[in-house]
A and B are shown apart, each in its own frame.
Chain A
Amino acid sequence: MTKVRIFVTYKQSVFDPQGETIKDAIHTLGHDEVKDVQVGKFFDVTVEGTGKVVEKTIEEIADQLLVNFNMETYKYQVMEEE
């Protein structure tokens, strides 16, 4: 079994109004050193198997369902393998 976390965000070129608003709020806290905030979502997925087989599954479900490539991009990381 492998536990994978898939992160989905808007592409850099896509305006993220939530991120902008949160950044403004952070600035009112006095943290002007914060230059960019991007909001996204993540999916924790548990898959049978390990290694390349799992990667293939993750990439397929991201490509075909979890991500809308018109506006979004994704990355993933393996959290646990057993």
Chain B
Amino acid sequence: MKIAVIVFPGSNCDIDLYEALHSVCHADVEYVSHKEKSLDGFDAVMLPGGFSYGDYLRAGAIARFTNIMPAVTKMAKEGKPVFGTCNGFQILTEVGLLPGALKRNNSQKFVCKTVPLEVVNNQTMFTKQYKEHERIALPIAHADGSYFADEETLDRLEKNHQVVFRYAEENPNGSLRNIAGITNERGNVLGMMPHPERAVEAILGNTDGLRLFKSLLTTGNAKVEE
């Protein structure tokens, strides 16, 4: 599986994501600039955390207009794995590949700490190496991570098992229904505020994120049929 890590102006977790895949998982991974127009030859694409375009207007709002985004949307429509963490999640909602939006944290503050999470759905290509309802811990680092969608959308997400991760104890940002990560209806696009790429090596104190990448890599050339 060949994976693209997109680099936007203001991305700052692109190297973490690349190294989690390259050094730790020994995956075939390449940086791809936001200026590129094609993702031909790639089997999966990942949008890193950071502050693309300085979070101007709204987090992720401007990245939506970059050259690469139509290619990302194309891969999503083809059923190939698309993953966004933190700013990547915000971009995926802004471009409409995932429902809802990420608001400013209720505390109005940037929150940076490791938080307990529940794996709500372990049947996705990203989470199959976790146990159902498993408690894990991952770092979060964001100011705009409060997940918001209308009641109807929230009900639909739960009914379709699209809620993949929930904050397990405290809710760090005011996310509705404690949502930390969701997929699209087809299950091939995952967005989450926590950073699994920062939790892949024992020497850094936490390996709970590793199985997310391993789940995906053992899926092979994953593709969800419609």
A contact set with B: CB distance below 8 Å: 10, 13-15, 17-18, 21, 65-66, 68, 70-71
Contacts and interface: CB of A to CB of B under 8 A. Distances in A.
Interface of B: 57-58, 61, 93-94, 99-101, 103-104, 106-108, 148-150, 174
Contacts of A71: 101, 103, 148
Contacts, number: 31
Given A17-B104, A70-B150, 9 more contacts: A13-B150, A14-B103, A14-B148, A17-B107, A21-B108, A70-B101, A70-B149, A71-B101, A71-B148
Nearest to B65: A65
Nearest to B96: A70
Given A17-B108, A21-B108, A70 B148 contact: yes
B143 to A, nearest CB: 12
B102 to A, nearest CB: 9
A17 B148 contact: no
B179 to A, nearest CB: 13
When A and B form their complex, which 7 residue pairs have the shortest distance between CB atoms, in order from nearest?
A70-B101, A17-B106, A71-B101, A71-B148, A68-B101, A70-B100, A68-B58
Given A14-B148, A15-B106, A65 B101 contact: no
Nearest to A20: B106
A70 B149 CA distance: 6
B69 to A, nearest CB: 14
